[in-house]
Copies of this chain bind each other. A is one copy, B any other.
């Protein structure tokens, strides 16, 4: 199988896993940078991730334009992906979703989401909330529907791995599909644990160095990363799309 075909298969797996894990429902999407053309990315046409297969995947420029003459409707918010790939050359994959349990932190005036469990260490040190009205006023429908919106979000994301979007959801950026799926799955869990622990009183979040070490220790080709990817693909019913395990 050619490299690009396996990337497409991995993107299908990513869609199905995010659906399985309730990170996305009818809405939300995941993309991957084109393996041969860093100025392009791959993203499904406007379809629920649960239903996406390889034939739904379109190719986009970093301005969010469909490459070629495919006229199937794209996602309205493809500019989230475009602007992050444009701003962050090291980013290889992006998720935007509305996972329910991060939403309280996106509208709280008092409390910031922070990494409190090992599997949440990928949140890093600084999870910001982007509020579309800060720059664009109250005359929007909250959606990121053009490059101006997307670039403003990418600026708030800055060098972090995840940024919440007020009353809306989150955007996450990692170097690979496996990593961004893993982050998207554990982000709501970290949020739930933080909320539950704070209701009991003061908490011990992860330490600065622990976050640094845990993130740098994660290798996408490790048996530990594969273990999760293989597990999710089986649970999501698409194990036949898996590539070869790392050695």
**CB of A16 closer than 8 Å to a CB of B:** no
In the assembled complex, which residues on chain B have CB atoms less than 8 Å from the CB atom of A201? 108-111
**CB of A214 closer than 8 Å to a CB of B:** yes
In the assembled complex, which residues on chain B have CB atoms less than 8 Å from the CB atom of A36? none
**CB of A217 closer than 8 Å to a CB of B:** yes
Instruction: Name the residue on B nearest A203 (C-beta).
Output: B107
Partner of A117, one of B107, B141, B213: B107
Q: Contact: B139 with A193, CB < 8 Å?
A: no
Given A109-B201, A227-B46, also A193-B138 (CB < 8 A): no
Cα–Cα, bound, A193→B26 (Å): 18
**CB of A235 closer than 8 Å to a CB of B:** yes
Partner of A27, one of B197, B205, B228: B228
Q: Contact: A138 with B208, CB < 8 Å?
A: yes
Interface bits A187-212 vs B (CB < 8 Å: 1, else 0): 00100110111111111111111100
Q: Contact: B167 with A204, CB < 8 Å?
A: yes
Q: How many residues of A contact B (CB 8 A)?
A: 68
Q: Contact: B118 with A192, CB < 8 Å?
A: no
Partner of A116, one of B47, B51, B167: B167
Cα–Cα, bound, A142→B209 (Å): 11
**CB of A232 closer than 8 Å to a CB of B:** yes
Cα–Cα, bound, A167→B168 (Å): 28
**CB of A1 closer than 8 Å to a CB of B:** no
**CB of A143 closer than 8 Å to a CB of B:** yes
Partner of A111, one of B140, B200, B213, B227: B200
Nearest chain B CB to A193 CB, angstrom units: 4
Partner of A46, one of B50, B104, B200, B223: B223
**CB of A33 closer than 8 Å to a CB of B:** no
In the assembled complex, which residues on chain B have CB atoms less than 8 Å from the CB atom of A133? 207, 210
**CB of A61 closer than 8 Å to a CB of B:** no
Q: Contact: A196 with B104, CB < 8 Å?
A: yes
> Chain B CB within 10 Å — which of A26, A116, A119, A210 has the most?
A26
Which 9 residue pairs across A and B have the least CB separation, nearest first? A110-B201, A48-B231, A26-B228, A104-B197, A73-B223, A104-B196, A138-B209, A26-B231, A109-B202
6 contacts between A and B (CB under 8 A): A26-B232, A48-B234, A50-B235, A108-B201, A140-B210, A198-B200
